[in-house]
């Protein structure tokens, strides 16, 4: 029997979901998890709505490395950063030059926050929140502060804005788009969403960008391209994520928006796989919880000896903005169609319909979110 372990690099949702599903299928297969962080298990989506729900960073942790090691019966090694993959020898090398052999290798290394070039003496003081450790730092910095400026009006930026304003902070949000959630919502729906968050207290600065971030005595001054200046206590960047592909690329694995894998989650090398925020699956890049869950189940079966292609149904995205309930399933950009939009005082029903009268996507806001269950079965699968 081969006792060389399945090695999982990464301790986020993708890594832990794969380990959990694989352990369900095989109680004895050796599994080793390596990660550069502390390997704590927590729900990353909860980071953007923890303040208003009264949860501090410690309460978000569901299990530390020792607890997860005991629960899953796997070897978990926190603070072990992988620096290279030797695909010919089936070995990975760590920063301390230790080598770890693998029978099958799973890359679940996630994504990094995008940082745009900006000027100013306080650029180094801009916060990002991409994991629990960063959230702890940001949460501590919020103590005694009153005003937060958020760069980015996408999904995470808007969720943090709603959370912060509900918790009593004055919140400014800056974005180059004409409306928040500009990549996910048609303009009329975006305007409705903006009005609801503005009614809650969020201040938007749209169709502009940040030129500089400067410390002026005890205040951070954010200067915008349109000439506006915002005085804030803290600045949070939530521009978006970029898949971590450097490790795979250095090993000769193809990368695009993420590490390129097929529907078996397999790279061009048979025993190396990738999933989660770092992976582009059969041309699809879906860094959300539900696709990761589906991928982990399929991959665990494949790792157990039963090759199983991943299937992605339509998986609507719930935006965690209580000030404006929102459920979105954006249409595939390769499919043509038109938005059919109904706006009322209390909601927006936006359906993206093809020329063949197929429902390809939707945006439901406010009272229209009640239609999610009825509309979702009409959507085409992403990968069937």
**CATH code of the domain covering residue 356:** 3.30.390.120
Residues 45 and 96 in one domain: yes
In a domain, 313, yes or no: no
Asked if residue 155 has pLDDT above 80, the reply is yes
Residues 157 and 188 in one domain: yes
Quick one: pLDDT band at residue 51, thresholds 50, 70, 90? very high
Residues 260 and 365 in one domain: no
Domain that holds residue 229: 115-237
Asked if residue 1 has pLDDT above 80, the reply is no
- pLDDT tens per residue, range 248-272: 999 999 999 999 999 999 999 999 9
Entry pTM: 0.95
Task: Label the pairing between strands 347-353 and 338-343.
Answer: antiparallel
Question: According to the model, what pLDDT value does residue 329 have?
Answer: 97
Residues 58 and 132 in one domain: no
Residues 126 and 223 in one domain: yes
Q: How far does CA 90 lie from the centroid of its chain? A: 29
CATH code of the domain covering residue 156: 3.50.50.60
Asked if residue 106 has pLDDT above 90, the reply is yes
Taking CA atoms, 10 is separated from 13, 150, 244, in Å, by 9, 28, 11
In a domain, 134, yes or no: yes
Quick one: pLDDT band at residue 310, thresholds 50, 70, 90? very high
In a domain, 272, yes or no: yes
Q: In this structure, are residues 281 and 275 in contact, taking their beta carbons and an 8 Å threshold? A: yes
Asked if residue 357 has pLDDT above 90, the reply is yes
Taking CA atoms, 235 is separated from 125, 155, 177, 210, 231, in Å, by 8, 17, 19, 11, 10
How far is residue 108's CA from residue 14's CA, in Å, rounded to a whole number? 6
In the chain, how many domains are there?
A: 3
In a domain, 384, yes or no: no
- pLDDT tens per residue, range 192-204: 999 999 999 999 9
Quick one: pLDDT band at residue 206, thresholds 50, 70, 90? very high
């Amino acid at each position: 029997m081969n006792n060389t372990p399945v090695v999982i690099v990464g301790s986020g949702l993708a890594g832990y979901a794969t380990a959990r599903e694989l352990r369900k299928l095989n109680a004895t297969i050796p599994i080793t998890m390596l990660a550069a962080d502390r390997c704590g298990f927590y729900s990353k989506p909860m980071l953007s709505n923890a303040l208003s729900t009264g949860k501090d960073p410690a309460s978000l942790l569901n299990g530390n490395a020792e607890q997860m090691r005991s629960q899953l019966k796997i070897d978990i090694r926190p603070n072990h950063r992988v620096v290279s993959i030797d695909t010919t020898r089936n070995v990975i090398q760590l920063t301390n030059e230790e080598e770890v052999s693998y029978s099958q290798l799973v890359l679940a290394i996630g994504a990094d926050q995008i940082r745009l070039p900006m000027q100013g003496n306080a650029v180094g003081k801009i916060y990002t929140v991409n994991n629990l450790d960063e959230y702890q730092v940001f949460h501590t910095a919020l103590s005694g502060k009153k005003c937060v400026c958020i760069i980015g009006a996408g999904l995470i930026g808007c969720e943090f804005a709603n959370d912060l304003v509900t918790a009593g902070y004055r919140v400014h949000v800056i974005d180059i788009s004409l409306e928040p959630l500009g990549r996910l919502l048609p303009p009329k729906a975006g305007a409705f969403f903006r009005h609801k968050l503005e009614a809650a207290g969020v201040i938007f600065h749209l169709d502009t960008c940040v030129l500089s971030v400067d410390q002026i005595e005890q205040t951070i001054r954010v200067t915008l391209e349109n000439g506006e200046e915002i005085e804030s206590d803290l600045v949070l960047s939530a521009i978006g994520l970029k898949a971590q592909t450097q490790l795979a690329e250095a090993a000769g694995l193809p990368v695009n928006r993420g590490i390129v894998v097929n529907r078996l989650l397999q790279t061009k090398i048979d025993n190396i796989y990738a999933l989660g925020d770092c992976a582009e699956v059969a041309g699809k890049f879906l860094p959300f919880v539900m696709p990761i869950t589906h991928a982990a189940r399929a991959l665990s079966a494949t790792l157990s000896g039963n090759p199983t292609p991943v299937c992605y149904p339509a998986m609507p995205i719930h935006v965690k903005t209580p000030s404006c309930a929102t459920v979105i399933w954006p249409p595939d950009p390769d499919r043509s169609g038109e938005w059919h939009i109904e706006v009322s005082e209390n909601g927006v029903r936006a359906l993206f319909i093809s020329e063949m009268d197929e429902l390809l996507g939707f945006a439901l806001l406010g009272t229209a979110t009640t239609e999610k269950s009825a509309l979702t079965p009409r959507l085409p699968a992403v990968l069937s």
